[in-house]
Structure 1
Amino acid sequence: MKEKEQSEWLSWLKALIIALFLVWLIRTFLVIPIEVDGPSMEPTLHNGDYLIAEKVSYRFSSPKRFDIVIFHATADKDYIKRIIGLPGEVVEYKDDKLYINDQFIEEPYLSDHIAQLQSDTIYTVDFNLTEDIIGRHQTIPEGYYLVLGDNRSNSTDSRSDLVGLVSEDDIIGQARFIYWPFKRIRLVN
């Protein structure tokens, strides 16, 4: 009887070790859970939303405009923001409109929200890369991205000296899925 109990304990111990190893493997190389902390990504993401971010796609391709990414903002803190400017581009907001290399670019993820505001409300204050972003670059340097929160008036993002342009090396992953709260379960666009 004692041998059978030991065998059963060893089976449980092996299963537990394998499960812990799989969790470590998945969290290290595939996905990470992350909580939205603050209102900087509203109306897209809300304070207290829990997300799954995948870490794989950026190993094979570069981030794209409008991807929502998680990145190391400081040694202690990761931020969630939307990529607006790509390497080699000139970015400017003028009269509440986004211009990339002097071409107007629509931001469809904000259209409904901005339409609900009063007509004289400015959503994104004018700024440009050469005068208002730390480093005062003519274009976004290779390997860097300009990121903004969707809640432009309440976001610490590339316009802040704390964040500035974000290095591709600091990008952890791309937000893909809200899994909590239950009523907000959906894919992240």
Structure 2
Amino acid sequence: MEKTVKSELFSWIQSLLFASAIVFICYQFLFVPTKVQGESMLPTFEDNNRVIVSKVSMIDRFDLIVFHAPNATDKYIKRVIGVPGDRIEMIDDILYVNGSVYDEPYAKRIDGDPITDRITGDFTLAEITGQEEVPEGAFFVLGDHRLKSNDSRYFGFISEDAVIGEVKLRIYPFTEISIPK
């Protein structure tokens, strides 16, 4: 009887260690949960939403990414607007990437914002960064709530090395579980 209890206990410990190793590997190399802080991504994400971030995704234009903030110890979540080689400008709330117009349904006025003429002020990449196009190994990012977003307009390009990963899933609040767009 005593041998059976020891065997069962050893089996449980072995299973728990194996499960812990799997969780550790997934957390370190595949995906990580993170919390949205602030209003810069409204209406896509609200303050305190929880999301799952894939660490193995290839980042492309308009992907939602989490990265280490260049001017703080925080992690930021923003939308990639420019990838290496892109020329970007904003004129009258119309986004131009490499001369082509892009619709931005995610960037809209939020109820309660002060009345303004524009959602995003006019700018060119050269005016903000001093460079005509996004350099290799970097991204240009903007928040969806442009009036309240600390983004590449203020701190410049994001290095690929600063990127933690791409947001793949909103997991909290439970009533809003979804794949963000």
Normalised by the length of structure 2, the TM-score is: 0.90
Q: Which residue of 2 is the match for residue 175 of structure 1? A: 167
AA partner of residue 63 (structure 2)? D
Residue identity matched to 1:94: I
Deviations 1:85-126, CA, capped at 9 Å, x for gaps: 11111111111111112332211333xx34989996310011
Aligned equivalents of 1:142 and 1:160: distance in 2? 20
| Inter-partner Cα distance in structure 2 for 1:144 and 1:99 | 18
Deviation (angstroms), 1:28: 1.4
Distance 2:51 2:93 in 1: 29
- Look up the equivalent residue of 1:18 and give its one-letter code: F
Matched, 1:39 2:39: yes
For these two proteins, the number of residue pairs brought into alignment is 179
Aligned to 2:180: 188
1:126 alignment partner in structure 2: 122
Q: Which amino acid aligns with 2:60?
A: K
Is 2:63 the counterpart of 1:67?
yes
Q: Distance in 1 between matches of 2:167 and 2:110?
A: 25
Partner of 2:100: 103
1:160 aligns with 2:150: no
- Residues 188 and 48 (structure 1), Cα distance of their counterparts in 2 relative to 1, 3 Å cut: same
- The secondary structure found in structure 2 opposite 1:159 is helix
**Structure 2 unaligned blocks of 5 or more:** none
* Matches for 1:137-152 after TM superposition, within 5 Å: 137-152=131-146
Q: Aligned Cα RMSD in Å? A: 2.1
Report SS of the residue matched to 1:57. coil
Partner of 1:76: 73
Does structure 1 conserve the Cα–Cα contact (< 8 Å) formed by 2:53 and 2:167? yes
CA distance in 2, matches of 1:96, 1:115: 15
